[in-house]
Structure 1
Amino acid sequence: MATRSLYLYQPLGGKPAPAPWRDLLCNPIRCTAILLIVALSVTSIGFIVIQRPWGSLVDFTPPHEFDQPPISRPSVVVPEPDPEVIGATVYDPFIAPSPGDAIVDKIVRPIKAHSAMSEECMDVWVSTGLWQEPCRYSMVQDSQIDLVYVWVNGSDALHQKARKELLSATKYKTKDARFREHDELRYSLRSARNATATWPNSTWHIITADVPPPNVNNTAPDSLYRLGLVPQWLDIECAFHGNPDGQPPIRLQHDSQLFRLTGRPGATLTATDASNWLEKILPSFNSHAVESQLPQLDPGIVSDNIVALNDDQFMMLPHPPSAFHTTLYGPVFRMDPNLLVGGDASGSADGGGEWRSLGWSAHLLNQRFGTRRRPYMQHNARALSLPLMHELSLAFGEYFAATPLSQFRGSHKVANEYEVNTIFMSTHYVIERHREALLWSWIVGKWGRSSGILDRDLKWKMWMEMGGGDEADKLSLLQAERTTSEDVEVNLLMAGVQPPRSFDEQKQADVAYSWVSMDGYSANFHTLPKRVDINLDECVGEEAEFAWDMFRRVLKENPTCGDNIIAALIHDSKSGLEVFLPPPCEDESSATDPIILPFDLPPTAPSLPRNPRAFAVRLLMRYAHVLGDSATIFMPMKSTSQADRALKTADKQKNLALLCINDDLGNGDQRNANNLLHKWFESRWPERLDCEL
C-alpha cells in the first residue's frame, strides 16, 4: 500500500489514515450493523432487498423495489450546436442575453432532492442521525452530479487579438501561463470518463470564453452575436448527444451567456444598469470573474450538485458519487486545515495569484459571520451546490458584481473592493450557514419561541441543558463521544447509496468522511474539540435579553462562545441534532414561510415561521456538508525536469485519487514540457473519447 506521506495535502488534522473498507469484517461495530441490515432485509423481504456489495464497490447495485425516479431537470430546450468555421477554426456561435435578461434571478432556490423527502422523514433523520423509520424504505439513491469545467484556449487567434488590444488599452501586464494550453482538457475529460462511469444522469459542461465576430470592435461589442471558443479536437455536435455506453453529453456554455448583474440584497436593478455593467466587463480574461458567474448556471440545464474543475485537474481513480455528494450528508469539501486564510481588506497581497482574492473573501465572511481563520480549499476537483452558490451570490451581490470589473485577474478596477474567490466563499458560506442554523434553532426557535425574551429562568435552563451545574458558573467538558462517523456507511447503505470507502484503494478512490456536519460545528475543521470551557456570564449571561440579540451576539460578536455552545450541546447524545431543535409543533408549514434566514441579520427579529421545528430541520438539511479526505497531489510544474520527477512519483502512488498539474513554467521550457505531458497523458488515458476528432 502506498504511504500517505506522499500526499501534498495530509489527512485532515494529521489524523491517522482511516481503515480501508476491506477492514469492515474486522470491525465489530460495523459487523453488527451489517448483520442488522441483513436481518432487516430477511424480515422485510416483501418490501426491500438490500444487496451487500462484497465485491468491488464500483459494481455496487442499489435496491430497485422502491427506487424513486431520478430527480428530473426542468423542461429547458437546449439548442444543438451549429458550428461556424472561420479560417480553419471552429466556433460555437450564439446570441448573448440582452441586458434585460442579464439580471440575476433573485428567487432563492430549494434543493430538489430535499423537496422529494417528507417532513416526517427529514425530521427523524436530522434529529437522530439514523436512516430509520419512516425513511427506511425511501431510497434516495446516488446523487446526480454534473461536471463543470472552466477552460480557455489562449492560442485562439481572435482571443489573442482581443486580449492584446485590451492589455494595450489598459496598460496592464499578465502572465502568459494564465492562457497557455497543453491539451490538458482532453485528458482531464478522459480521466473523468473513467472515474465517473457509474454516476447517474450526469452531464459535462465546459465554460469557454467567447469573442465577437472579426468585423466587430473587440473592446466595445455592439452586437449580441458572439463566437464561443471550442476545443478543436472535439466534435461538438456529436458530444452534445452523449453516449449511454460512453461519456455523458457535453454542453458548451460561454462567458457572455453566464454573466448576470447582482446587487446588494433588496436593490432594484434595471436593464440600463445591466447594459452599463456589461460594457465594462466584456470581454473578460479574468478567471475569478468567470468563476464568479458559476452561481448563474441555468438550473434547468445544470444539476443541483456539481464538481468544478480546471482543465489541469485529473481524477486518477474511479469515484462513487458519494465521494463528492450525497443527499443525506451534502457536498464533500476537501480542505487543507494547515493552510489557514485570514481576512485582509487591504488588497496588499499579490493580485496575480489567488491570495488577494482569498484574503478579501475571508474578510467578507468575517463581516457577516464573525472573525476567524478558515482553511484553504484544496486546488483540485471541488464539490459544490448550485442552489447554495446562487444564494451566496445574492447575499454578497454587490461584491460579485464588482469582481468582473477587473477584466484581468488582479487589475483592480474598483476602489476598496477586490475580486471574490468563488470556490472559497461558496464552501465556507455553507459551513457558516449551518453553524448559524444550529444557533438560531436552539436560541431563537427553541428557547425564545414563546415571547422572544430569554429571562433569568430560561437562561438558567439553557445553562443546565448545556451541562452546567446548579451552582457552577463555569463548564468544562472533555471531547464528546459521538457515533456519527461509525454510522455513515450503514446509513448510506440503508438509503440505497454506495458509500465512499473502498475495498481496494488502488482500484477505487478511498474517500473518508473526516468530519460530518451532523456533529454540529468544528472550530478546527476536522474534529470535535478535545475540551470545551464555557463561562456562564460571558456566553449565556444571567440577565434577560431578546433571544435574537443573544443569537447575533454568539454568532458574530463572540464566535468562540457560539462554537463552545454547539460543542457543549453535542454531548447530549451519541448522534443526531435533536437537542438543538424546537419542540414538535402541530401547525403546518406555510407556503409563505421563508426557506432561509435573512441574508443580512437585522437588529430586530423577523417573525418566526409557523412551524419553527420544521423550518429548523430543513435549514440544517439545506446546509449539511462533509469534510473529506482522499489521496491528493497538487503539482506546481516549474521545469520539465522537476515535472518529470513529480509525474514518476504520482505513478508510484497507486492510491492517488486526485491530481492537479499547475503550469508555473518559464516561457523557454514549453516544447519539452508539452512533449513530456503528452507522453504521460497518453500512457495514463490512451482511450479516446467517443467524439474526439
Structure 2
Amino acid sequence: MVTSIFFWVLLIRKYYFVVEPYPYTSLDERPPQIQEDDTHHIFRNIDRGPTSRTPLFIRAYNSMSDECVEEWVAHHQWGPACTGTDLSAGLSIDGVWAWVNGSDPLQITTRQRYKPDKAMKMDAAHRYVEHNELLYSMRSALTSLGEDTMQRLHILASAYPHANGSDEVMAGQIPYWLENNKALTNKSRIVLHHDADYFKLIEKPGTNFTSWERGEWKEAAIPTFNSLAVESQIQNIEDTSSDQLVYYNDDFFTLRKLSVSDFTTPLYGPVIKTLTRLTSMYLPAKDTFWRTINPAGEEPGIKRAAWVLGMRFSLRPYYYITHHPRTLWLPLLREAAQTFPEAFTDTALSRFRAQEDVPASVQAVFLGSWYVVERHREALLWTWTIAKWGGRSGTLSSKLKARMWNELANEESPSASRLSIPMPVRVPVKDRHVFQAANVSMPTSTEYSFSSKDGYALAYVDSTWPWNRPRHGYPDLTRGLLENNQTVDGSKLLRDPSFIPARACVIKRSTCFESYTQNETANNFFKRIAFERPECGDCIITALIGASGISGIDKFLPHHQADRDPGLHADALTLPPHLPLTSDWATTDFSMKNAIPKGSLETGMTLRTWCTRLIQRYSYVLGSVESDFYKVERANTLETKLDEVELKVEEEGPLAFLCLNDDVKDTGKLRDRIDELLMTFFDRMWPSRMSFEKQV
C-alpha cells in the first residue's frame, strides 16, 4: 500500500475542507431533486481502474510496411515500396467537445457546495452560462469536414452527486437536444462521457494503488468545475473510432470547408498550430506568481507544463498553442500522461482553476502538443548517438567520437575545434506531388510552416532573426532549391549551387564532445548533448539534417546491417517503438539494453527499421490558420462583430475558425439581446440538423 504524503493530503482535504458533506442551512441550499430526464442521466459512480501504462500503437503507421517506412521516413520519398499502402486509418478524426451547462440548477448548487472555504478569485458565474453553443459548434464541424472524415463525436460532460449529496449515485448532464439513446451506448455516432467515468488515476512505474486509494483520489477530483482538469483526462476516453482527435471548446466554430489534412495526416503527423510572437513565449516555472495574480487564466498551467517538460527534455521556452480546435493523437497524449503521471493526476485535483489547497496544475493540451516535438528531437539524437554509434557495446571510444565529429564536419575540416553549421536546404513541407501519390487530400486552409522531417523546430526559431522566418515564425528552408524541377517522388530536385545559406549554429568540440580523447558510455554522451547542453543537440540535429541532403534523415540512422542483440527479437511486436517513459532525464538509463527491452523487435526487423519507426512515431507539423478570437461582452459590439463575420464567410475569405468567448458584461434586457443575437447568428450559419438531434 502506498503511504505517500499525497494520500494524507487527500484525507485531510476530505474530512476538513472540500469533500465533507455540505452543511445545508436551508431547504433552498439543498440540491434539486433530479430525475432521469432529457437533461440528466442517473448512474452509479464505480471504480473503473487506473489508466493503463501500456503504450498504444498508431494504426496508420502500422499499415506501412518496413520497406515503405524506410522509403518515406528515411529518404522522404513516396515511391514503389509505398504504392497501394492503405492510409485510411489516419484519414479520419474524432471530434471531442468539453461542455458544461452552467445554467443547470444542479450545477449551480453543487458549485456553491464545493467552493473552498478560503476566499479565492473564481471564474465569474456568467462564464458557465449556457448559450446552446455546443449544438452549433458540432454542426459547424460536421458541415466543414463531413461525416466520412469526422466519424465519431464525443461530449465531455459534467456529473454531480445526486439528490442527497452522496457520491455513490451521480446525475450527469445531457444536452437537451440530444437523443439520449444514441449517446449513451457504445459505438454510436456520438458518445457522451461523464467525468465520473473517465477521470482515472495514472499509476507511476512500480506503484499499484488499491481500489480504496483510487476512490480517495476520485472523490477529491469529482465533481469538477475546471476545464484544465477535464483536459488532463482526455486520454482516458473510450470508444474512439480513430487515433486522431480534434479537441474543441464548445465556443469554437468552423466557418468553411476543411480537409482532414488541415488537422492531421498519416504522412506528416498531427498539425500543431502555434504562435511564435515574443508575447506568446512562455518560460518554464515550477511555481509562478501568476497563480496568485491571475489564477483562473491559462498562464500558470502553461508555465508549469513547460517546467514539467523541461525536467524531462531540458529547460527552454515554448510558444502558445493557438486557441482554436487542437489536434491530439490519442496514443501520443496517452504516452505523455504515462510519462508525467503526477502532472496529469495532480491537475485533476483542482476542482476550480484558482484553488490553492491542491498541487499546481498543468495545461495538458499545451504539454501534450510540445511533448510530441520534444520526443521527436530525443528520438533523433538517441538514434544517432546510441543506436548508430554506441551499438551493442554502449561505449564510445576516442576513435568513434572522432568519426562522429567527422560526420558532423561534412565539408569542413575535421580537425577544426568548432564547426559552423549552415542552414539546411530542404524540399517543401507541403509537397502536392507526395499528397497525390499517397492519395491524401491537400490542406485547404492551413499553412504547413515547419515539419519534423527537417529536424527540431525550436532550434531554427532560436537561431534566426524574425524577418528571416516568413512562415509564421519558422524559416523557409526551400530557399536555395532551383525552381520548376520537381518530380513526383522529389528525386530530381536540385540545389542552386550559387546559393549561400546563412549560418544556423556552431558546434564547439570542447563543449559538446567534452572528453573527446577518452572513452565514455554512449548513455553519458547522449545525456550531455540532449539535456545538459541542449544547444549541442540542437545544432547536431541541424548539421545531420543538412548532411542528409535535401530530403530524408539517413545520416541519423544505423546502417542496414548494424549489429543488434538477437535477444531483442520476438515473434510479434508487442509494444510500439518508444524510449523510456520517465519524467526526469537525469535519473533515466538510455542505454540500448534499457531503452529496447527484450522482445521489442519483431523477428526480421533490423535496428535501423526500429529506429526509423521510433522517429516516425513522433512526426508532426507546425502550422497556422486564419482564425478570430472574440470576447462576447456587450450587445452593441457583438452585433457589429457577427455582421463582420458573416460578410467574410459570404466573400469566401480565408477565415477558418471563430471563438466566441463568453465574458458578458451586460445585464437585464441587454443580456437577453446578446442571447437573441447569438441564436439568430447560429441558426443562419448552421441550419442543418445532425442525425442525433431530437425531432422538434
1:419 pairs with 361, 371, 374, which one?
Answer: 361
Q: Helix, strand or coil for the counterpart of 1:405?
A: coil
C-alpha RMSD over aligned residues: 2.4
SS at match of 1:332: strand
Gaps in structure 1 of 5+ consecutive residues = 1-83, 502-509
**How far apart, in 2, do the equivalents of 1:169 and 1:302 lie?**
43
* Structure 1 residue 265: Cα displacement: 3.3
Partner of 2:252: 313
1:646 partnered with 2:641:
yes
Structure 2: unaligned runs, 5 residues or longer: 1-32, 462-472, 478-501
1:564 corresponds in structure 2 to 539
Distance 2:186 2:625 in 1: 30
* Change in CA separation of 1:636 and 1:520 when aligned onto 2, cut-off 3 Å: same
508, 511, 520: which one aligns with 1:535? 508
TM-score by length of 1: 0.80
Letter of the 1:341 partner, please give it: Y
Deviation at 1:235, TM superposition (A): 2.2
What residue number does 1:121 align with? 68
C-alpha contact (below 8 Å) 1:513/1:626 kept by paired residues: yes
**Is the contact between residue 634 and residue 666 of structure 2 (CA under 8 Å) also seen in structure 1?**
no
Question: Which stretch has the larger CA shift, 583-592 or 447-456?
Answer: 583-592
- Paired with 2:590 and 2:350, the residues of 1 have a C-alpha distance of 37
Q: CA deviation at 1:656?
A: 0.7
Structure 1 residue identity aligned to 2:450: W
| Map 1:177-576 → 2, pairs under 5 A | 177-197=126-146, 199-200=148-149, 202-214=151-163, 216-217=164-165, 220-221=166-167, 223=168, 225-238=169-182, 249-298=189-238, 300-338=239-277, 339-349=280-290, 350-414=294-358, 417-466=359-408, 467=410, 468-485=412-429, 488-501=431-444, 510-523=445-458, 524=461, 526-527=474-475, 531-541=504-514, 542-543=516-517, 544-572=519-547, 573-576=549-552
Given that 1:102 and 1:259 are in contact with CA atoms closer than 8 Å, whether structure 2 keeps it comes out as: no
Partner Cα separation in structure 1 for residue 222 and residue 666 of structure 2: 28
2:22 aligned partner:
none
* Structure 2 SS opposite 1:634: strand
> Is 2:626 the partner of 1:631?
yes
Match of 1:598 in 2: 580
* 2:552 is the alignment partner of 1:579: no
Aligned position for 1:680: 681
Amino acid at match of 2:675: N
Q: Indicate how the Cα distance of structure 1 residues 618 and 97 shifts in structure 2: closer, same or farther if over 3 A, else same.
A: farther
How far apart, in 1, do the equivalents of 2:246 and 2:195 lie? Answer: 18
Q: CA deviation at 1:152?
A: 0.1
Please, which of 80, 83, 87 is the counterpart of residue 136 of structure 1?
A: 83
C-alpha displacement at 1:680, in angstroms?
1.8
Deviation string 1:133-187 (CA, Å, 9 cap, x unpaired) is 2112213146121000000001111111111111265655432143121111111
Comparing 491-500 and 331-340, the one that deviates more: 491-500
SS at 2:69 equivalent = helix
Could you tell me the percent identity over the aligned residues? 32
The answer to whether the Cα contact below 8 Å between 1:204 and 1:249 also exists between their aligned partners in 2 is yes
Q: Deviations over 1:600-644 (max 9, x none)?
A: 242562506464312211111111111122211122223223333
CA distance in 1, matches of 2:590, 2:684: 62
- Quote the offset at 1:412 in angstroms: 2.8
Q: What amino acid is aligned across from residue 537 of structure 1 in structure 2?
A: S
Match of 2:43 among 62, 73, 94: 94
The 2-side partners of 1:186 and 1:585 are apart by 56
* 1:241–1:249 contact (8 Å) kept in structure 2: no
Distance 1:534 1:319 in 2: 43
1:26 counterpart residue number:
none
Q: C-alpha distance in 2, partners of 1:367/1:395?
A: 11
The residue aligned with 1:658 is 657
Deviation at 1:592, TM superposition (A): 6.5
1:413 deviates by 2.6
Q: Is the 8 A contact 1:340 1:376 kept in 2?
A: yes
Cα separation, partners in 2 of 1:266 and 1:143, compared to 1, 3 Å = farther
Q: Is the 8 Å Cα contact of residues 584 and 613 (structure 1) preserved in structure 2?
A: yes
Partner of 2:489: none
The 1:628/1:615 distance shift into structure 2, 3 A limit, reads same
**Partner Cα separation in structure 2 for residue 564 and residue 410 of structure 1:** 40
Matched residues in 2 for 1:379 and 1:431: separation?
19
How far did residue 97 of structure 1 move? Answer: 3.1
CA 1:500/1:280 → structure 2, altered by over 3 Å: closer, same or farther? same
- Quick one: structure 1 residues 140 and 153, their matched pair in 2 at CA, closer, same or farther if it must change by over 3 Å? same
Give the CA deviation at 1:451.
2.4
* TM-score, scaled relative to structure 2: 0.80
The Cα of 1:557 is off from its aligned counterpart by: 1.4
Q: 1:387 to 1:337 in 2, by over 3 A?
A: same
CA distance in 1, matches of 2:438, 2:138: 30
Q: CA deviation at 1:231?
A: 0.8
Q: Kindly provide the CA deviation profile for residues 44-85 of structure 1, in whole angstroms up to 9, marking residues without a partner as x.
A: xxxxxxxxxxxxxxxxxxxxxxxxxxxxxxxxxxxxxxxx98
Q: Distance in 2 between matches of 1:117 and 1:212?
A: 47
User: 1:265·1:396 contact (CA, 8 Å) conserved in 2?
Assistant: no
* One-letter code aligned to 2:671: Q
Read off the aligned partner of 2:154 and give its amino acid letter: H
Q: Deviations over 1:365-391 (max 9, x none)?
A: 111111111110001001111111111
Contact residue 484 and residue 516 of structure 1 kept, 8 A: no
- What is aligned with 1:76? none
Question: Is residue 139–residue 496 contact of structure 1 (8 Å, CA) maintained in 2?
Answer: no
Q: What is the distance in 2 between the residues matched to 1:240 and 1:603? A: 45
Partners of 1:265 and 1:395 within 8 A in 2? no
After TM superposition, give the deviation of residue 199 of structure 1 in Å: 3.4
Alignment of structure 1 residues 46-61 onto 2, 5 Å: none
Given that 2:56 and 2:575 are in contact with CA atoms closer than 8 Å, whether structure 1 keeps it comes out as: no
Q: How far, CA to CA, are the matches of 2:574 and 2:369 in structure 1?
A: 28
CA distance in 1, matches of 2:590, 2:331: 27
Read off the aligned partner of 1:661 and give its amino acid letter: L
How many Å separate the matches in 2 of 1:655 and 1:603? 48
Separation in 1 of the partners of 2:303 and 2:331? 24
The question of whether the paired residues in 2 share the 8 Å contact of 1:146 and 1:305 is answered with yes
Q: Which residue type is aligned with residue 631 of structure 1?
A: E
Distance 1:238 1:283 in 2: 25
Q: For residue 240 of structure 1, report the CA deviation from its aligned partner.
A: 7.0
For 1:323 and 1:234, locate their aligned partners in 2 and report how far apart those are by CA, in whole Å.
28
Considering Cα pairs closer than 8 Å and 6+ residues apart, tell me whether 1 or 2 has the greater RCO. Answer: 1
Closer/same/farther in 2, CA of residues 470 and 279 from structure 1, 3 Å limit: closer
- Worse-matched range after superposition: 404-413 or 285-294: 404-413
Question: Any idea what SS the aligned residue of 1:164 has?
Answer: helix
- Report how far residue 667 of structure 1 moved: 5.5
Q: Give the match for residue 14 of structure 1.
A: none
How many aligned positions are there?
A: 587
Q: 2:63, 2:406 → 1: CA distance?
A: 38
Using the TM superposition, name which of 338-347 and 603-612 deviates more.
603-612
